[in-house]
Amino acid sequence: MVDVTDLDMNPPEGDQAQRPTAFRSYVAIGDSLTEGLDDLTPEGEYRGFADRLAEHFSASVPGFRYANLAVRGRRMRHIFGEQLEQTLGFGPDLVTVHAGGNDVLRPNTDLDDLAAEFETGIRRLRDAGIRVVILSGHDTGWIPVLRVYRGRIAVFSMHLRAIAERTASDIVDLWSMGALNDPRAWSVDRLHFNAAGHRIVAARIADMLGAPMGPREIWARPWETPPERLPRILRRRENWRWARRHLVPWLSRRALGRSSGDGRLPKRPQLTELRPDRHGGEAAEDAASPNGSTGAGRDSSRLDGARDRERR
């Protein structure tokens, strides 16, 4: 059996990784993960990997501009519809794309057709001269119930790798990142990254683009200890609690054709200058403790309350 590592799937010395990183503008498109759920700022706003990446670039690029068009619950037709058209109008240097997750989780979605739609959108971005970073699906094998989607996510992720190769785009393979198979990288709903998870993803993208946020350990080995493993009976209770509080409402919305993003607008809809001191204190804390406390426990109760209020 071959032991595949993140470096095998995301080689750091490829031709695209060696290109100069002179990005002066960046647009993030996608769904809830790109919007930033569940990475709350002290002000109660969602931050996320895209904001963290933009803040990192803005610290060294005067006048750096950023837009985040992602909205939770958005499907492929939205992301490569209105979000794509607005992005092409902006003409940024860099675009990150995380799309398809809300479609893949619907059993009646044809993954080959979905991949073809994805590739059409990526080609339009590449034809416009935009550098594109694709984010693949992540492994749900460690999550009860959601592990049944593992095969579909894997198939679609392989489509994305082929699309990246055919379109000369960059890809960050979230599936191969062992740090994301750790519960400490995830929100209480097990559907979204927490602050630690978003930090890991942002650091991985920055590293691939040749502008690392710090040592490789920030994204490859963010914790010095293995995750805590609860006794079986406690895991079972926790799984039931999670199912009642998060899984059942999620499934109910899908059965009714509803989305948590219905009626929502992007949090940063215009490509405007990003102040380099935005969340500066948190950025300093992130850089100072790549293997230390993630703040996940500190924020969990505040995060849980905010999410409950938003989704009632």
Q: What percent of the chain has pLDDT over 90?
A: 60
pLDDT for position 81 = 97
Nearest to 149 by CA among 190, 104, 194, 111: 104
Does the pTM surpass 0.75? The reply is yes
52's enclosing H/E stretch is: helix 48-58
Distance separating alpha carbons of residues 312 and 310, to the nearest angstrom: 6
Q: Hunting for tokens 């899908």 — which residue is that? A: 254
Q: What is the pLDDT of residue 255?
A: 59
Q: What is d(CA 311, CA 246) in angstroms, rounded to the nearest whole number?
A: 10
**pLDDT, tens only, 25-58:** 999 999 999 999 999 999 999 999 999 999 999 9
**Best CA proximity match to 204, nearest among 237, 178, 230:** 178
Q: Which residues contact 272 (CB under 8 A, 6 or more apart)?
A: 65, 66, 67
Average pLDDT, the chain: 82
Question: pLDDT tens across 222-263, in order?
Answer: 999 988 776 777 666 666 676 666 666 666 666 556 656 667
Q: What is the token pair recorded at 105?
A: 């989780």
Residue-range domains of the chain with CATH: 6-288 (3.40.50.1110)
- Residue 68 φ/ψ, nearest 5 degrees: -125, 110
Residue 110, pLDDT above cutoff 70: yes
